[in-house]
Amino acid sequence: MRDDTRTITTLRSDGLEVPDLRVVITPQKSPPIEATLGVAPLVIGTSAECDVVVPDSRVSRRHCQLRLTPRGIVLTDLGSKNGTFVNDVLINEAFLTPSAIASLGGVSLTVRVAGAPVLVPLSTSASFGEALGGSVPMRALFARLERAAATSETILLLGESGTGKEVLAHAIHDTSPRTSGPFVVFDCSAVAPNLIEAELFGYTKGAFTGAQAARAGLLEQASGGTLFLDEIGELPLELQPKLLRALEARQIRRLGAAAYTSFDARIVAATHRDLQGRIASGAFREDLYYRLAVVEAIVPPLRERKEDIPLLVERFLAAQVPPRSLDDLPPNALELLRGHHWPGNVRELRNTVARLVLFPHLAEQAIVRVAPRVDDNMGVGPLAALTLREARDMVVEQFERNFITMKLRDHGGNVARAAASMGVSRQLVHRLMERYGIRSKG
């Protein structure tokens, strides 16, 4: 009888013992692709959003997922066009042993044990600041960030939009020796490229038209505390060497100034972009990446930690006015929530819970992102049970989803033309499409 114990995770008092596994995918017309399977699941497909990208037309955009469980490796088909097979048997979900050969539309996949098991430390807590998660991926993330927070090292958070990267950055600040200092946020995607340098480095009086007084940049303003650089992947290429130089020297020079000024801010950066891909395309500097990724942490999407949904829902319900509990949800609501894919992650879950409170009789529509209409005839009465942020998010979400869908339809699904008609960048439209689960039909 075959011994597959080396592919089983073991929970110990000091962490999770994880086998050292390598996934090998062999396309017919390109070299083999190898990836490590650890605590986080691996999504395999042709889309650049997948963890492992397979350049083969027989493989679907999101073809299948591999994940470790206490019982072994589980391979799940994600609704692929050509199917997923294990030893020539078509499967929806199956355990995959190291001797088994899986086939993704004709592309072979195997898993091999590369070495001795490794111990992944797990936090003893189901929270880190305001971030919640009792699942193994989140407890592993919390343990990594708890250790990093005690230092002054730069941290890079990678993860999809809506996973809570800013919440984690705030928790890092709050649990660090810099907690009494300022926590400053800068979104690199929300400021015009020609203004980013002045925002980060500051300027002197008269440095440019409109500079009527000197102003410290955010790196200076965050001295003694933490500067959170959100969406660092959107930082213009021409500014990246200037940021790298500032981080290396811990000095900045304001626009229009001759002298350098020291600063003492801890940097936490985040992005939903594939930075390795942007480095390969020349859109992001490799030296800046390594300077930011002294500690790199991947924030798992909500679909990979669905066991955390009840905990998160309880938090969102308790924040309602008046506070509510799981008993106030419509029947089977939790089952519906667990069954959703959550492209908008925790942000989408929060807004969905707000809709469920408002429209309990429309539970299924609220969860599958067919938002009940909020219009002028309805007034603000039904929104009164929400906080201002929740009510505003709900109305803005519906408007943005409907508006973008309309513009994409008007332009045959062409994102570039739709963005031009809206007067915004393609990058912003792609981010909103990702947030709201909108697909181009062109």
Report the distance separating Cα 436 and Cα 348, nearest Å: 8
Residue with tokens 């969406």: 231
Report the distance separating Cα 357 and Cα 5, nearest Å: 46
- β-bridge partners, 65: 43, 76
DSSP codes, 370-396: -PPP--TTT-SGGGGGS-HHHHHHHHH
89: buried, middle or exposed (CB in 10 Å: 19+, 13-18, 0-12)?
A: exposed
> What pLDDT is attached to residue 1?
36
Strand duo 102-104 + 107-120: pairing: antiparallel
> What pLDDT is attached to residue 237?
95
> What pLDDT is attached to residue 362?
62
Show me where the domains of the chain are located. 10-120, 127-298, 302-324+337-369, 388-436
Report the distance separating Cα 271 and Cα 249, nearest Å: 24
- Domain 10-120 annotated CATH 2.60.200.20: yes
Measured CA to CA in angstroms, residue 270 lies from 74, 188, 293, 354 at distances of 30, 10, 10, 27
Report the distance separating Cα 367 and Cα 353, nearest Å: 8
76: three-class secondary structure by DSSP: strand
Measured CA to CA in angstroms, residue 231 lies from 132, 268, 275, 287, 424 at distances of 22, 11, 11, 17, 17
Report the distance separating Cα 231 and Cα 190, nearest Å: 9
- Each residue's pLDDT expressed in tens, for the chain with a length of 442 residues: 345 556 777 878 778 898 999 999 998 888 899 999 988 889 999 987 788 999 899 999 889 999 988 888 999 998 899 999 999 999 999 999 888 999 998 899 999 999 899 899 999 999 999 999 999 999 999 999 999 999 999 999 999 989 999 999 999 999 999 999 999 999 998 888 888 999 999 999 988 888 889 999 999 999 999 999 999 999 999 999 999 999 999 999 999 998 999 999 999 999 998 898 899 889 999 999 999 999 999 999 998 899 999 999 999 999 888 899 998 888 888 888 988 888 889 998 998 888 888 777 666 666 655 444 444 444 455 555 556 666 667 677 778 888 888 888 888 888 888 888 888 777 778 878 877 777 765 4
Any alpha helices (H) in 253-382, and if so which ranges? 275-281, 286-292, 309-318, 333-339, 345-358, 363-367
Spatial neighbors of 326 by CB under 8 A, at least 6 apart, are 310, 313, 314, 317, 334
Report the distance separating Cα 97 and Cα 100, nearest Å: 5
Cα 236 from chain centroid (whole Å): 21
Residue with tokens 């890079």: 156
> What pLDDT is attached to residue 442?
45
> What pLDDT is attached to residue 6?
67
Contact criterion met (CB below 8 Å) for 9 and 68: yes
> Residues for the chain: how many in total?
442
Produce one character per residue of 381-399: b if its CB has 16 or more CB atoms within 10 Å, e if not: eebeebeeebbebbeebbe
Strand duo 226-230 + 266-271: pairing: parallel
- β-bridge partners, 11: 16
- Domain 127-298 annotated CATH 2.40.50.140: no
Query: Using alpha carbons only, what angle is made at residue 339 by residues 124 and 10, rounded to the nearest 5 degrees?
Result: 35
Amino acid identity at 409? R
Report the distance separating Cα 390 and Cα 316, nearest Å: 10
Residue 81 is encoded by which pair of tokens? Answer: 């066009």
> What pLDDT is attached to residue 312?
97
Report the distance separating Cα 263 and Cα 268, nearest Å: 15
H or E, element range at 158: strand 155-158
Indicate the DSSP class of residue 255: B
Contact criterion met (CB below 8 Å) for 330 and 366: no
Indicate the DSSP class of residue 138: H
Q: Prior bond to 322 cis, omega within 30?
A: yes
Same CATH topology for 10-120 and 127-298? Answer: no
- Whole-structure pTM value: 0.76
